[in-house]
Amino acid sequence: MLASIRGTVRYQELLSFHTSLRIGGPADIFVEPLDVNDIRQALDHAKSECLPVAILGSGNNVLARDRRIQSVVLKLEGCLGRAEFRGDEVVAGAGVTLSSLIREATAINLGGIECLAGIPATIGGALAMNAGTPDGAIGDFVTAIYFLHADGKLGEFKPIYGRFTYQEFALPAGAIIIGCRLRMTRRPLAEIQKDLKARMKTRKALNPLALASAGPVWKNPPGEEAGRLIEKVGLKGKKLGGAEIYAKNPNFIVNRGNATADDVLALMETTRERVQAQFGITLEQKIRIIGE
């Protein structure tokens, strides 16, 4: 099964090469599929070897553990990487990056999804996390999602109320998103560009763009901001090994060079405990963990 994959198959591939935090131990089997058939082959192999499957988009919101990861890891960035514009809609593959989609759409006066600008993501990863900002999330624009069930059968989902919630999408268990259809809005080019520029300026001020991070670590509790709570419990700038709670935006943990997953997990545990003790609020993790 692995032998018939047209994309890349690697063994003991360090996930630190594939996560924005630059952390992660070796995955037993690491596949960069070329197409849906490759994904099916990898799923069949995992099933026959009783191995768990882990999906990576661009790895911008995952913490991969330090030790051996006994899984088949599929990295979809670049695979299914085409976007096709049809009227005011776009049909995009799971591996298309949000940045390239926004760039291509802007060039033909299609906007509407500017609120997603600057979120580093593939379409698949953005949908799986219902990525967004206070101004809107990707789920607001979805008219269809295409996915592969764990048994390799194709599925389609039309949005219904409740499937997309804050930073979540209720995907059938084991399913892999392969693409979607998004509704966009025709806008004058200059308006879209002005909007994008303003958003990128804010993002540059708040996000540690020059440092390795995995984006927001925690979901914002209802009516609260996780970063504000972390600051109030005095953990802004707290370091452990090579990991650090980013002082400018405490909902981020950055890797100062030699951080391990254990460092990050320990900082998260301290944060969770302090916020719980001081405010009685249980922080809910946004970042997804790969590995046992």
Ligand X SMILES: Cc1cc2nc3c(=O)[nH]c(=O)nc-3n(C[C@H](O)[C@H](O)[C@H](O)COP(=O)(O)OP(=O)(O)OC[C@H]3O[C@@H](n4cnc5c(N)ncnc54)[C@H](O)[C@@H]3O)c2cc1C
Residue ranges in contact with ligand X by CB under 6 A: 20, 55-62, 76, 94, 119-122, 124-126, 128-129, 131-133, 176-177, 207, 209, 213-216, 288
Q: Rounded CA gap, 290 and 44, in Å? A: 20
| Residue placing its CB nearer to ligand X in the complex, 129 or 243 | 129
Q: Rounded CA gap, 288 and 19, in Å? A: 11
Q: Rounded CA gap, 125 and 143, in Å? A: 17
Angle, in degrees to the nearest 10, between helices 98-107 and 189-206: 150
**263 neighbors 242 (Cβ within 8 angstroms):** yes
The minimum distance between CB 188 and ligand X, in angstroms, equals 25
User: For the chain, how many residues are written?
Assistant: 292
The minimum distance between CB 137 and ligand X, in angstroms, equals 7
* Secondary element (H or E) of residue 227: helix 226-232
| Residue placing its CB nearer to ligand X in the complex, 72 or 274 | 72
Q: Rounded CA gap, 96 and 93, in Å? A: 6
Task: Using alpha carbons, select from 245, 259, 236, 288 the residue that is nearest to residue 21.
Answer: 259
| Residue placing its CB nearer to ligand X in the complex, 73 or 274 | 73
The minimum distance between CB 132 and ligand X, in angstroms, equals 5
Q: Rounded CA gap, 63 and 40, in Å? A: 25
| Residue placing its CB nearer to ligand X in the complex, 110 or 128 | 128
Q: Rounded CA gap, 180 and 171, in Å? A: 13
| Residue placing its CB nearer to ligand X in the complex, 149 or 236 | 149
| Residue placing its CB nearer to ligand X in the complex, 106 or 122 | 122
The minimum distance between CB 21 and ligand X, in angstroms, equals 8
Q: Rounded CA gap, 169 and 139, in Å? A: 8
Secondary structure class of 237 (helix, strand, coil):
coil
The minimum distance between CB 183 and ligand X, in angstroms, equals 19
| Kind of pairing between the strands at 69-75 and 53-56 | parallel
The minimum distance between CB 28 and ligand X, in angstroms, equals 17
| Residue placing its CB nearer to ligand X in the complex, 30 or 274 | 30
The minimum distance between CB 269 and ligand X, in angstroms, equals 20
Tokens 């998103």, residue located: 177
Q: Which amino acid is at 98?
A: L
The minimum distance between CB 213 and ligand X, in angstroms, equals 5
Find all residues with CB under 8 Å of 214, minimum gap 6, and list them.
19, 20, 21, 60, 61, 62, 63, 252, 253, 287
| Residue placing its CB nearer to ligand X in the complex, 255 or 274 | 255
